[in-house]
Amino acid sequence: MLKLVSATVEKFGKLDVLVNNAGGSSYEHLGKRILDIPVDDFSKMIDLNVKPVLRISQLAVPQLEKTKGAIVNVSSISAYHKLDICVVNYLNCSV
């Protein structure tokens, strides 16, 4: 990730904005209570969705401070609503 920030500054001369718009999930535990999800599976989710956002933000902040830039974190509405299987499997649904 350091190479990503360095290459961006090298090519464009500065960094104005960082957009954290990546992540994913597994539908293996869809509908399960948090108590029923193995710790290893939860750790994988944190490794994919949280740690990279923290790390790239830490690397970008020194450059963003110079330009008074911003960090935009994009998330999913899925965090707030129980998903219907049709929403999760949208491409396989017939509407």
51-78 residue pLDDT tens: 999 999 999 999 999 999 999 998 876 6
16: pLDDT confidence band, cut at 50, 70 and 90? very high
Q: Which two tokens stand for residue 71?
A: 């960090």
pLDDT surpassing 50 at residue 85: no
Q: Indicate the pTM of the whole model.
A: 0.72
Is the backbone of residue 60 left (phi > 0), alpha (psi -120 to 50) or beta? Answer: alpha
- 34 pLDDT band, cuts 50/70/90, is confident
Residue 88, pLDDT above cutoff 60: no
